[in-house]
């Protein structure tokens, strides 16, 4: 099991050959509508690890496995094939031929289910291809059974009953691995070769035992179920038994396909589950956030800074992105960028009706840049009013002093300097109060001229 480099509890889904690291879906970059994924750190195209580490184990999704054939086309196929072979079963020759054909169709379809599931498609494939080539598979299977039986007879003759019994047990235990090999390679003898059987068993490991147990349970329940329901009424019992066994056959092949899907890495390939849901596309801000999170963990603060600026250029109205950038600048103590951003940030906050936060932001910035003074007159006046209400007059003086050099809004200047005058008075700075008065008279004259 491999985990994301940046999320130690998330299973890895992508691999960067350049950085030699595994990451999860979140820690990647994608183009707006693209399927390719890129490394957040170096920008290289990532290699998919498929669902190698995210696939749910087969023994935990048994209810989904049993629901797999429950679609109208698959159930129709199962019932029609069962009915044909059931009805014709008691007719000589015709029954045998019908049985062979329906078994061929179902076998072909079941192998298709195995292949499709192995490649990550969790819904049953279409039926169109089920009707050709099935008989060949059946004959291959019959050939193999004859070969095994002959081997068994030979072994019994030369090696005795004990060893033959043991070999027989191995053959039975090999069936799941054989079916997987055959579905993937289409070669009968090679699929039964011990090294190829062991490759599958080795990849699955101990859960192979669970698999065998499940298969035995399913095959033994077929007879039992139909016996319980329809014992005595042979014709209907035949059809029902056939429906159940055909149903289980599709389930078993889907299960085997899923085993391949789950152990894909050990079997040497990567497949991604296709659930049929529309892909979820992330917005530019979400993608940037993911990349920022990676770059922060990599300690590349310069790149983080640039990425924040670039993203904010296009998504300046995103309040939390603004907040996050400010927190980042505070945390990294980047004076230059902080000086540039703080002004914009405070005006933005004011216009978004969050003036209560201005004082906190102002103080935070001043803890890094001691002589910081916002350039926006509105921000300064709002802050000054806040300080005045707490009786912090030196702060009022500090904020409003010199505002006339930058502000062209006369009404705002009148209000601001009236407040400054109050502060100076409270501080007992009489000479400054007088010059403030004179300035206010001039200002008010301008205001009335402006309004005529
Ligand atoms: Zn990389
Ligand atoms: Zn991650």
Pairwise CA distance, residues 285 & 324, whole Å = 12
CA of 45 to the centre of ligand 2 (A): 16
Nearest bound ligand to the CA of residue 28: 2
CA of 293 to the centre of ligand 2 (A): 9
Average pLDDT, whole number, for the chain? Answer: 89
DSSP-assigned states of every residue in 106-156: HHHHHHHHHHHHHTTB-SPPPSGGGGSSHHHHHHHHHHHHHHHHHHHHHHH
**Residue 231: its pLDDT value, please?**
60
CA of 4 to the centre of ligand 2 (A): 5
Nearest to 183 by CA among 121, 85, 114, 255: 114
**Residue 141: its pLDDT value, please?**
85
**pLDDT (tens digit, 9 = 90+) per residue, 374-396?**
999 999 999 999 999 999 999 99
**Residue 452: its pLDDT value, please?**
44
CA of 324 to the centre of ligand 1 (A): 25
- Give the model's confidence band at 278: pLDDT under 50 very low, under 70 low, under 90 confident, else very high: low
**Residue 277: its pLDDT value, please?**
62
Q: How far is CA 289 from CA 95, 109, 342, in A?
A: 66, 46, 20
CA of 222 to the centre of ligand 1 (A): 53
Pairwise CA distance, residues 20 & 26, whole Å = 17
Pairwise CA distance, residues 96 & 102, whole Å = 10
CA of 33 to the centre of ligand 2 (A): 20
CA of 336 to the centre of ligand 1 (A): 29
Instruction: State both tokens at 179.
Output: 């079916």
CA of 296 to the centre of ligand 1 (A): 15
- Give the model's confidence band at 35: pLDDT under 50 very low, under 70 low, under 90 confident, else very high: confident
Instruction: State both tokens at 386.
Output: 């806040």
CA of 49 to the centre of ligand 2 (A): 14
**Residue 15: its pLDDT value, please?**
94
Pairwise CA distance, residues 144 & 188, whole Å = 7
Nearest bound ligand to the CA of residue 19: 1
**Residue 404: its pLDDT value, please?**
86
Nearest to 323 by CA among 272, 364, 266: 364
CA of 56 to the centre of ligand 2 (A): 19
pLDDT: which is higher, 126 or 35: 126
Burial of 337 (0-12, 13-18, 19+ CB in 10 A): middle
CB 400 within 8 A of CB 417: yes
CA of 35 to the centre of ligand 1 (A): 17
CA of 265 to the centre of ligand 2 (A): 20
| Size of the chain, expressed as the number of residues it contains | 452
- Cα torsion through 382, 387, 389, 394, rounded to 10: -130
CB 135 within 8 A of CB 100: yes
Neighbours of ion ligand 2 (CB under 5 A): 4, 6-7, 24, 26-27
Nearest to 294 by CA among 22, 87, 11: 22
**Residue 228: its pLDDT value, please?**
66
Nearest bound ligand to the CA of residue 4: 2
Q: What mean pLDDT comes out for the span 85-96?
A: 79
CA of 306 to the centre of ligand 2 (A): 21
Nearest bound ligand to the CA of residue 20: 1
**pLDDT (tens digit, 9 = 90+) per residue, 191-246?**
989 999 999 999 999 999 999 998 888 888 776 766 666 665 677 777 888 888 89
- Give the model's confidence band at 271: pLDDT under 50 very low, under 70 low, under 90 confident, else very high: confident
CB 416 within 8 A of CB 408: no
Most confident of 94-98, 337-341, 446-450: 337-341
CA of 51 to the centre of ligand 1 (A): 20
Alpha helices for 299-357 (secondary structure H) = 301-314, 319-332, 335-351
pLDDT above 70 (res 448): no
**Residue 233: its pLDDT value, please?**
61
Nearest bound ligand to the CA of residue 44: 1
CA of 8 to the centre of ligand 2 (A): 8
Nearest bound ligand to the CA of residue 23: 2
Q: What mean pLDDT comes out for the span 356-366?
A: 94
**Letter string b/e over residues 291-322, b meaning 16 or more CB atoms within 10 A of that residue's CB:** bbbbbbeeebeebbbebbeebbeeeeebeebb
CA of 276 to the centre of ligand 1 (A): 30
* Helix (H), strand (E), coil (C) string for 211-234: HHHHHHHHHHHHHHHHHHHHCCCH
Share of the chain above pLDDT 70, in %: 95
CA of 288 to the centre of ligand 1 (A): 16
Pairwise CA distance, residues 172 & 227, whole Å = 24
CA of 194 to the centre of ligand 1 (A): 40
**Residue 276: its pLDDT value, please?**
62
Biggest CA pair distance of the chain: 125
Rg (CA), the chain: 38
CA of 16 to the centre of ligand 1 (A): 5
CA of 24 to the centre of ligand 2 (A): 4
Pairwise CA distance, residues 239 & 235, whole Å = 7
CB 68 within 8 A of CB 250: yes
Nearest to 13 by CA among 25, 1, 26: 25
Nearest bound ligand to the CA of residue 47: 1
């Amino acid at each position: 099991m491999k985990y994301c480099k940046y999320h130690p509890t998330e299973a890895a889904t992508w691999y960067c050959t350049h950085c030699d690291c595994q990451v999860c879906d979140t820690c990647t970059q994608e183009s707006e509508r693209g399927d390719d994924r890129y490394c957040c750190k170096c920008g290289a195209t990532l290699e998919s690890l498929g669902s190698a580490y995210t696939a749910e184990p087969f023994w935990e999704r048994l209810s989904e496995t049993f629901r797999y054939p429950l679609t109208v086309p698959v159930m129709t196929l199962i019932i029609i094939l069962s009915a044909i072979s059931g009805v014709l079963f008691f007719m000589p020759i015709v029954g045998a031929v019908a049985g062979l054909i329906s078994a061929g169709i179902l076998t072909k379809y079941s192998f298709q289910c195995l292949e499709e599931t192995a490649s990550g498609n969790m819904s049953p494939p279409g039926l169109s291809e089920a009707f050709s080539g099935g008989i060949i598979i059946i004959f291959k299977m019959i050939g193999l059974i004859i070969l095994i039986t002959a081997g068994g007879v030979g072994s019994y003759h030369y090696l005795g009953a004990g060893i033959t019994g043991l070999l027989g047990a191995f053959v039975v235990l090999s069936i799941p691995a054989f079916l997987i090999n055959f579905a993937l390679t289409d070669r009968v003898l090679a699929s039964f070769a011990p090294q190829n059987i062991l490759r599958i068993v080795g990849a699955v490991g101990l859960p192979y035992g669970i698999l065998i147990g499940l298969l035995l349970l399913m095959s033994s329940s077929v007879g039992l179920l139909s016996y319980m329901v329809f014992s005595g009424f042979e014709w209907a019992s035949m059809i029902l038994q056939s429906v159940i066994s055909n149903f289980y056959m599709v389930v078993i092949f889907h299960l085997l396909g899923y085993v391949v899907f789950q152990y894909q890495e050990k079997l040497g390939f990567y497949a991604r589950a296709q659930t049929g849901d529309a892909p979820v596309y992330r917005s530019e801000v979400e993608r940037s956030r993911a990349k920022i999170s990676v770059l922060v963990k990599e300690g590349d603060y310069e790149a983080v800074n640039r990425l924040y600026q670039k993203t904010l250029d296009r998504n300046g109205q995103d309040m939390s992105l603004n907040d996050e950038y400010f927190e980042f600048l505070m945390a990294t103590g980047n004076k230059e960028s902080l000086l540039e951003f703080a002004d914009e940030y405070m005006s933005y906050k004011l216009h978004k009706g969050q003036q209560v936060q201005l004082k906190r932001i102002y103080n935070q910035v001043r803890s890094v840049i001691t002589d910081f003074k916002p350039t926006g007159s509105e921000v300064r006046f709002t802050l000054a009013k806040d300080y005045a209400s707490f009786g912090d007059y030196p702060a009022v003086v500090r904020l409003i002093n010199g505002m006339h050099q930058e502000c062209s809004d006369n009404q705002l200047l009148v209000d601001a300097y009236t407040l400054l005058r109050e502060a100076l008075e409270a501080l007992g700075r009489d000479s400054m109060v007088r010059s403030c008065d004179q300035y206010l008279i001039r200002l008010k004259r301008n205001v009335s001229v402006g309004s005529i």
